[in-house]
Amino acid sequence: MRFATSAASSLPSAASDAAAARAGLGQFEPAWTREDEEAVRAASAASVAVPEPRASSSSASEAPAAAPAPAPPPLLLSMSADELKALAVSHGESAYRGTQVFDSITKGAATIAEIRGIPPGWRAKLSEEGFDVGRAPVHSSALSADGTQKLLLRLHDGHVVEAVGIPSRDGARLTVCVSSQVGCPMRCSFCATGKGGYARNLTTAEIVGQVIAVRGAFERRAAAAKEEGAGGAPTSARRPIPTRVSNVVFMGMGEPALNLRAVLPALREINGRLGVGARRLTLSTVGVPNTIATRLAAENLQFTLAVSLHAPTQELREKLVPSAKAYPLDALLSDCQAYFEASGGRRVTFEYALLSGVNDSQAHAAQLARLLKRYDLRSHVNLIPFNPIGDLSPFAAPPRAAAAAFEAALTAAGVPASVRGSRGSDASAACGQLRNEHQRRGAALGPMPLEPVGLGAAAAGAGAAAAAALV
């Protein structure tokens, strides 16, 4: 599929507006404009385009241009082990020193001062020459009573992104939910990130750095808990705090399929460098044309592909996921089928946010079962009861019984499904919510308080809930 190019095929029609009004959906339907489509197309192009080589030097008749400022050295986090060894040798050190830098940064060194074992002289030289590890500092952190911890990381250009650590209830596993973009151009109507605006794609190092940052936050908490225990404080009621990352899900801010140029290397780094099993990596997409059946199918990594459906019909999906206007449901599922076949039967899961009175009826369940049974995907549906995102959304979570009835209807129709619990509900867990709070507070107010903090917004959303599916 390609993005529709004509306004008629991509913009909301009068007929669909009328249908939305009939369904009571007009109040939250976001307009999907030609500008939105162009923004998404630009983000996608930025992800896949190979940079053009610089034009050769100016003609002889032109005045010589001023010498460009020297480019800053690469971030150490973005350099491979071989590149760091070569850097060490070029600075008169042994190649082993480069390995030390690589290992130290992988273990969590966030500054040159924190890199272990290297000679002071080389440490000083790296700093003098402008080298930097490239880790985004933690701007603020919210800790939930269930142990889920969300970090707001400040990037070098002042933007902030969210990363979440979700421990399993028994403390055996730690799932990290990462962002792939600053904001998101897809503007799904129920999503806090979509309401916060889109700024840019993240780099591979910025994505990998999120995993290291969350792991570090859990390591610090585990160490503090151990110290408390050693001091005689009661420990019986405490949950164990995992420090080894077992799963990574791309379910945070952004649409990863719009940033595959950074996301695919990040998947490999998280697998190879950070040691997270390939089958424990999940890429979640709402659907971007020309990615699922082509680029993702061609990847050899055995990650799980999760496709966010949220509606069983094209008409309803367009109300919830405005980009669906340019990528119809049938085309999306046909691409999933092609992905399944081209990848030798690699699993596709479907995410479905349950919105009370909008997409959670028995009729919707029957439509969803009929839709999925038209394809041979052997997939599973994760049902994620929506939770409020403050005053940003008119949506509500369905009653527990409605969610259970939806699951039962799918299962009875032969479509495996599970209702997933939300995690971090007292830590602004909805994807993008912490960033939105940060934006509302404004830079003048400075960072939000550091951990532990209960923000009291009762707002577990798709990200944390979907990630909890793996916990």
d(CA 14, CA 309): 24
Centroid of chain to Cα 450: 22
Q: Minimum distance between the CB of residue 232 and ligand SF4, rounded to whole angstroms?
A: 45
Minimum distance of ligand SF4 from residue 334's CB (angstroms): 20
The contact mask relative to ligand SF4 for 279-318 (x = CB under 6 A, - = no) is -------x--------------------------------
Beta carbon of residue 405, minimum distance to ligand SF4 (angstroms, whole number) = 25
Task: Give the interface size with ligand SF4 as a residue count (CB under 6 A).
Answer: 13
Measured CA angle at 469 (ends 381, 250), to 5 deg:
95
Query: With CB under 6 A as the contact rule, which of the stretches 46-54, 189-197, 231-239, 377-385 interacts with ligand SF4?
Result: 189-197
Annotated active-site residue 184? The verdict is no
Residue 177 · residue 463 · CB < 8 Å: yes
216 binds ligand SF4 (CB under 6 A): no
As measured in angstroms, the least distance from the Cβ of 470 to ligand SF4 is 17
DSSP letters of 70-131?
Answer: PPPPPPGGGS-HHHHHHHHHHTTS-HHHHHHHHHHHHHT--SGGG--S--HHHHHHHHHTT-
Q: Which of 186, 257, 333, 336 binds ligand SF4 (CB under 6 A)?
A: 186
Q: How many Cα atoms occupy the beta-carbon half-sphere of 415 within 13 Å?
A: 26
Do residues 178 and 207 touch, judged by C-beta distance below 8 A? yes
Query: Binding ligand SF4 by CB under 6 A: which of 147, 194, 196, 388?
Result: 194
Using the rule CB under 6 A, is 461 a contact of ligand SF4? Answer: no
Residues numbered 239 to 268 that lie near ligand SF4 (CB under 6 A) are: 253-255
Partners of 167 in beta bridges: 174
Report CA 218 to chain centroid distance, whole Å: 19
End-to-end, the C-alpha distance of the chain in Å comes to 34
Q: Give min distance, CB of 327 to ligand SF4, in A.
A: 12
- Residues 403 to 432 in contact with ligand SF4, rule: CB under 6 A: 431
Q: How far is CA 318 from CA 20, 169, 223, 269, in A?
A: 10, 36, 48, 35
- Selected binder of ligand SF4 within 188, 368, 417, 469 (CB under 6 A): 188
> Which one is catalytic: 37, 93, 162, 206?
162
| Binding interface with ligand SF4 (CB under 6 A) | 184, 186-188, 191, 193-194, 253-255, 286, 431, 462
